[in-house]
Chain A
Amino acid sequence: DAGVTQSPTHLIKTRGQQVTLRCSPKSGHDTVSWYQQALGQGPQFIFQYYEEEERQRGNFPDRFSGHQFPNYSSELNVNALWLGDSALYLCASSLDPTLGTEAFFGQGTRLTVV
């Protein structure tokens, strides 16, 4: 079992550009959550996808959007990048949270905006 895999591992973008980050969940998992971890801070919840729909959303602007595919993999899109979007983006996969299951985190994608 490959666990949760994220790509790319590192990325450098210019202010104003758009970026897409990808996440493949652990085998058998159908729920994907995304977190942003700025340098020196704890991760912050962006949103969660289940059955291809956004189920929950944190306090992030509409520039942050996502998608979940029928195979449960997910993408995080950020438009009009700001310098402040530089962070480690973590993906976590799980089964339906209401079942009391646990989430497994990927290694993250380090995004640098210059």
Chain B
Amino acid sequence: AQSVTQLGSHVSVSEGALVLLRCNYSSSVPPYLFWYVQYPNQGLQLLLKYTSAATLVKGINGFEAEFKKSETSFHLTKPSAHMSDAAEYFCAVSLYSSASKIIFGSGTRLSIRP
């Protein structure tokens, strides 16, 4: 069975500060891991994905995530937060790709302080 746990339902950082959103996964097989972003009243946009190639994955909008098998983690980071980063972020896992059944975490709401 696969699952993801996002630590912290709400994270608040100052503009220009480091963003760190935490995600731990559980999977009986090598997983495909994803981070999605959701702006208010909108659908989901793929930020980045891990597919067993490089463990450090770079995504859109300056975000990146590192796959750590020993820690079963896939934390999302961005060196310098921007006001436009305020949104809901979801960590997710699947067997093949985002086209197969995706198991989502409960989400982390990111707020940016001016």
Q: A-side interface residues toward B, CB under 8 Å?
A: 4, 31, 33, 35, 40-45, 48, 56, 58, 90, 92, 94-103, 105-108, 110
Task: Jot down 9 A-B pairs with beta carbons below 8 A, ordered by A.
Answer: A33-B102, A41-B106, A45-B102, A97-B96, A97-B97, A98-B100, A99-B99, A102-B46, A102-B97
Known: A43-B44, A90-B43, A106-B43. Is A96-B99 also a contact (CB below 8 A)? Answer: yes
State whether A108 touches B43 (Cβ < 8 A).
yes
* Residues in B whose Cβ lies below 8 Å from that of A108: 42-43
Count of A-B contacts judged by CB separation below 8 Å: 72
**Are the CB atoms of A48 and B44 closer together than 8 Å?**
no
The 4 residue pairs across chains A and B that have the minimum distance between CB atoms: A94-B99, A42-B104, A97-B100, A97-B99
A103 touching B43, Cβ below 8 Å: no
Contact of A101 with B43 in the complex, beta carbons under 8 Å? no
Q: In the complex, which residues of chain B have a beta carbon less than 8 angstroms from the beta carbon of A41?
A: 106-107
Q: Given A41-B107, A42-B106, A90-B43, verify A103-B101 contact (CB < 8 Å).
A: no
Contacts of B100 in A (CB 8 A): 48, 56, 97-98
Q: Given contacts A48-B100, A92-B44, A94-B98, could you give 14 more A-B pairs where the C-beta distance is less than 8 Å?
A: A31-B99, A33-B99, A33-B102, A42-B106, A42-B107, A90-B43, A90-B44, A97-B97, A98-B100, A99-B97, A100-B51, A101-B99, A102-B99, A110-B41
